[in-house]
Amino acid sequence: MALGTRIVWFRRDLRLDDHPALRAATDGGGPVVPLFVLDPRLVGAGTMSPARLSYLADALHDLDAGLRARGGRLVVRRGDPREVVPAVAAEVGATAVSLSRDVTPFAQGRDAAVRDRLEAAGVAVDAHPGILIRDPGTVTSADGSTYRVYSPFRRAWARLPLEPAAPAPGSVAVPAAVPSEDLPTVASLGAAGRVPSGTIRGGETAAQARLTRFLDEAAHRYHDQRDLLGEPGTSRLSADLHYGTVSPRAAYLRLDQDLPGHESFAGELIWRDFYGHVLARWPGIRDTEFNPELRDLPWRGEGPEFDAWREGRTGYPIIDAAQRQLRQEGWMHNRARMVSASFLCKDLLVDWRLGQDHFLRHLVDGDVASNNGGWQWAAGTGTDAQPYFRIFNPVTQGEKFDPQGRYVRHYVPELAAVPDRWLHHPWDMPAAVAREAGVTIGEDYPAPIVDHAEARRAALAFFRRE
């Protein structure tokens, strides 16, 4: 009997290595249609930042090249997947569609609608892990509930067995007659000339090289350096993990857990799984505080404070460096994300949802689950949240995590000649030092938009609803 055609619907699992849905489709040896749907709701100049569009275009080209090396190719279509996937299934006479299970409310709604239509047409849908190391619902407490706190989640996570990673299939037999649109480019996606110059190269080949380089050169010192803003101490794999050009399971399995650096890196991959579990279980937290007691706080909306923050002109060098790194590279160091998010929510009392949306749009790794977890942590409203009374001081954070000022001098070059002693609070510079450094506060660089000590008092009153 001839084997039925199977579709592998790629979304944010743009790789060949360790891809359970792809293996399920190719293992039988029958015809396979590797499909990517350009959904205008997600992929458009107005919705995704140029950095993200650039990464996506790279990743699709690399996936196509990898499939061609195995005798196949990527089939690209444009439109609403709820229409397109069932239409392609009918066109190629597919018997099944394989996909990797996603955790966001958007993806879950979309996938449920596609599944209903496919099953009504007699096409089976098989959902596989591959986006997280462990899928939502697989790490639960003894009574089957989802953990609200990271540490017990991590302990339970570590107790479960883990399947070995599956190698990429040797061949992928794609029927010749299936038409495809051209692969998208930065230009066709409407981002030409707007991609930040520091944007990383996307795709499985570049991602695998990044992972190998990190494991060989930096992972052993990750534990000591991950918080230092001026050092290349982290993996920069977040976009690769978000688009699935690196398998989180394969990355985890390559770590040597006896090395402290590797062990703490493993902990971050597990944070990623944790936030995926939390969002899948409580999808409403995308827009609502996880902690019900902190709902309906009178946050500020858009306005001059939010503009100064996102444009990197708050007058606090560490915050401005962070926001300018985001603009220049579509990426921001984790410590900078924590300090900058805290500043928006606690010093400026601006709604964390505005910060969340700004990050999601501009970060090349913008990820609904991890971004929401990070923002709710910073606002003090989430799981494991930083309590509202713990408020980062942007000056001491700068002094601690950018002691030589490499980070600030790189992204805020107008302060390059300010001595270390004053770099994180340049408004305190004596006039002679400021002259020597060529900086007049209020002209060459802004005066601080708030006084941190006063802002701190105001934040405490705000959270206590005084």
Ligand X SMILES: Cc1cc2nc3c(=O)[nH]c(=O)nc-3n(C[C@H](O)[C@H](O)[C@H](O)COP(=O)(O)OP(=O)(O)OC[C@H]3O[C@@H](n4cnc5c(N)ncnc54)[C@H](O)[C@@H]3O)c2cc1C
- Contact segment (CB under 6 A) with ligand X among 4-12, 186-194, 253-261, 372-380 equals 372-380
Contact 31, 5 (CB under 8 A): yes
Find out whether 98 and 7 touch, Cβ atoms under 8 Å.
Answer: yes
Q: How far apart are CA 72 and CA 29, in angstroms?
A: 13
Radius of gyration of the chain (CA): 24
Catalytic residue among 83, 91, 291, 299: 299
235 in contact with ligand X (CB under 6 A) = yes
Q: The tokens of 193 are what? A: 């000339």
Q: 436 in the Ramachandran plot: left (φ > 0), alpha (ψ -120 to 50) or beta? A: alpha
Looking at beta carbons, which residue is closest to ligand X? 374
Measured on CA atoms in the order 384, 389, 390, 395, is the torsion positive or negative? positive
* CA count, 13 A, side-chain hemisphere, 128: 20
Binding ligand X by CB under 6 A: which of 147, 153, 375, 407?
375
Closer Cβ to ligand X, 26 or 386, answer by number: 386
Question: Which entry of 263, 268, 399, 414 is annotated as an active-site residue?
Answer: 268
**370: contact with ligand X by CB under 6 A:** yes
CB of 329 to ligand X, least distance (A): 11
Binding of residue 205 to ligand X (CB under 6 A): no
Residue with structure tokens 């270390």? Answer: 420
- Residue 113 C-beta: closest distance to ligand X, Å: 25
Give the nearer residue to ligand X in terms of CB position, either 261 or 426.
261
Please identify, using beta-carbon distances, which residue of 83 and 357 lies nearer to ligand X: 357
Which CB atom, from 20 or from 374, has the smaller least distance to ligand X? 374
CB 381 within 8 A of CB 294: yes
**77 versus 337: smaller Cβ distance to ligand X:** 337
375 is catalytic: yes
The answer to the question of residue 357 lying near ligand X (CB under 6 A) is no
Contacts of 406 (CB under 8 A, 6+ apart): 229, 230, 231
CB of 427 to ligand X, least distance (A): 26
Query: 352 an active-site residue?
Result: yes
Q: In this complex, which beta carbon is closest to ligand X, that of residue 62 or of residue 329? A: 329
The stretches of 235-393 forming alpha helices (DSSP H) are: 238-243, 248-253, 260-281, 304-310, 317-329, 334-342, 352-362, 368-379
Q: Taking a C-beta distance cutoff of 8 angstroms, is the pair 224, 330 a contact?
A: no
Q: Which of residues 242-271 bind ligand X (CB under 6 A)?
A: 242, 268-269, 271
Quote the least distance from Cβ 268 to ligand X, whole Å.
3
Query: Residues in the site for ligand X, rule: CB under 6 A?
Result: 226, 234-238, 241-242, 268-269, 271-272, 275, 334, 337-338, 341, 359, 363, 365-367, 370-371, 373-375, 378
The catalytic residue positions are 268, 271, 299, 334, 352, 375
